Amino acid sequence: MTAATVTDFKFKTFDRTPGRILPQRIGRVLWLPMFAMALMAFAVGFILAIVRADAIASAGAETTIAALNHVVPGFMFLGFASVFAAISFAIARILASSA
């Protein structure tokens, strides 16, 4: 087995910073839309949960209650996923501004 030396690797040197990488550029643009999408998904999930609770309280159709039982967690999951994406994009934006 041969030992690797510095000359075995390709590298470049720059006089200035090479610029932002793709995740940092995307994070700068997408953190706010993802946060807005999270708020919308949470709002839709909350409204559908109220509709489901009203259907249960007023002895509504079982099919409607069962359908809403599956849809509400889906919107809540979409909201949580969007929040985590917005946080990731915001962190990428912060890291890009500190470089």
pTM: 0.69
Helix axes 22-57, 62-98, angle to 10 degrees: 160
Q: State the sign of the Cα–Cα–Cα–Cα dihedral 75, 44, 89, 30.
A: positive
pLDDT per residue, tens digit, the chain (99 aa), is 666 666 677 777 777 776 778 888 888 888 899 999 999 999 999 999 999 999 999 988 899 899 999 999 999 999 999 999 999 998 988 887 765
What local confidence, expressed as pLDDT, does residue 96 receive? 77
